[in-house]
Amino acid sequence: MVRTPLRLAFAVSLFALSAFAPLAPPAQAQDVDILRRSVDELAAAINDEVVAWRRDIHANPELGMQEFRTAGLVAEHLESLGIEVETGVGGTGVVGVLRGGRPGPVVALRADMDGLPVTEMADVPFASRVTTQWQGREVGVMHACGHDNHVAILMGVASVLASMRETLPGTVKFLFQPAEEGPGGAAPMIADGALEDPRPDAVFGLHVFPMPVGTVAYRTGGMLASSDALRIVVRGIQTHGAMPWAGVDPIVTASQIVVGLQSIVSRQVDLTDSPAIVTIGQIEGGNRGNIIPDTVLMIGTIRTLNPDTRTLVHERVRRLVENVAEANGAEAEVTINLGYPVTVNDPALTTRMVPSLQRVAGEGVVVMPPATGAEDFSYFAEEVPGMFIGLGVGADDPSLVHPNHSPFFYADERALPIGVRALASLTVDFLSSNPISDDR
């Protein structure tokens, strides 16, 4: 993809900022105001390129751990800005390090790069026509969750902050992550040292949602749910359907378990504190109407929005399943495979950074209700204080508004400069308000 040079506005703003380079932390209010104005000017100047990047990435989506083209595009762009780049982190991840000209803390910014095995139905000129093999069959590939926007926005943020390098009070790490949709790329990146040398003091990320353009949503504490896979095997004794007393019926037992599991949420979890969900989505057992089988398999999901609630629900699920099975003379095996943790926004960090969002989006800043979707940004936020925000990309035309993961998912590009300003502003404000000694 051909890149245009940074616009004149970048050079002008950089010249203006360089006059303040000798100032040592803490940053003065005048310095911070200049940094903030520069973010706004540079975000506007880079917008055409951000749109072009987004459309290019959207037309060329890649599944998790296969983001070779996207990672290459990102790495080339970061290198062109003079940012230190490491590729192949945690698979296909890219880490960039931008060292400011003044001492200060370290901020990490994260964007996920992968698409989904979805055939695109959205009517846009840059719609994906990519196909690939998925679980043994050919499928379409689409950025149906909007990660193309995330990558383009963070590439834009890199351009903005790199142009302010000389007066930037601290260091910025750019985390371009693979496989958020699965199998999960955050944990492998962390294991590969993405949060070390230097270690961030805070991490920020965003996700697009079909909220109205101009909306920036946040939530203190649990924002997105943990996602754990539940597998239950109920074992009875097979017998003729006309003589149920001669065996142990795992289907009746499984039915009681399904009903009982709902009482965990409705009667054993304090829903005024945080929601929880226990869903059984698959049941398999038997092959004839007149044969009671010996085994029933149930598969489901557990979602919680509080780490303590997560532990509680897991304990109660095991207890209920095993006791119901025993009461029926059956046996049950419960397996809970831990998925993504709860995405928790650090309360102190979130409260402190809300004014930065309000400066960018004004009355468009809203408190987001808890969502039961899951995000592996949660792993980064477990390591260092984190803040994850929602960016509205819903069009004014209701017929274009569809949920994430829909083949009709549509992102209004008017949201892109808001996303760039939001992440860049969070970065500048955090770095400016967290001075450290020169000998760090």
Q: What is the CATH number of the domain that holds 315?
A: 3.30.70.360
Tokens of 192: 């590969």
pLDDT digits (tens, 9 = 90+) for 182-209: 999 999 999 999 999 999 999 999 999 9
Other Cβ atoms less than 10 A from the Cβ of 368: the count is: 18
Of the residues 305, 337, 369, the one at which a domain ends: 337
Q: Is 413 a catalytic site residue?
A: yes
Residue 419 within a domain: yes
Q: Are residues 176 and 73 in the same domain?
A: yes
Round to whole Å and give the CA distance between 84 and 107.
Answer: 15
Identify the pLDDT of residue 29: 74
Q: Which domain holds residue 326?
A: 226-337
Q: What is the CATH number of the domain that holds 73?
A: 3.40.630.10
Of the residues 337, 372, 400, the one at which a domain ends: 337
Of the residues 292, 320, 337, the one at which a domain ends: 337
Contact 324, 260 (CB under 8 A): yes
Residue 95 within a domain: yes
Q: Are residues 114 and 18 in the same domain?
A: yes
Q: Are residues 165 and 193 in the same domain?
A: yes
Catalytic residue (one of 180, 181, 340, 410): 340
- Candidates 343, 64, 346, 372; CA nearest to 188 is 64
Identify the pLDDT of residue 21: 35
- Measured CA to CA in angstroms, residue 55 lies from 45, 48, 120, 196 at distances of 18, 11, 14, 32
For residue 361, how many C-alpha atoms fall within 13 Å in the half-sphere facing its CB? 30
Residue 3 within a domain: no
Q: Are residues 295 and 428 in the same domain?
A: no
Q: Are residues 146 and 265 in the same domain?
A: no
Residue 438 within a domain: no
Q: Considering the entire predicted model, what is its pTM?
A: 0.89
Q: Are residues 138 and 100 in the same domain?
A: yes
Identify the pLDDT of residue 30: 78
Q: Are residues 47 and 186 in the same domain?
A: yes
Q: Cα angle at 308 between 303 and 313, to 5 degrees?
A: 50
Residue 302 within a domain: yes
Q: Is 383 a catalytic site residue?
A: no
Q: Are residues 358 and 234 in the same domain?
A: no
- Candidates 262, 239, 236, 231; CA nearest to 251 is 236
Identify the pLDDT of residue 435: 52
Tokens of 163: 């142009």
Low-confidence ranges of the chain (pLDDT < 50): 1-25, 436-440
Domain count of the chain?
A: 2
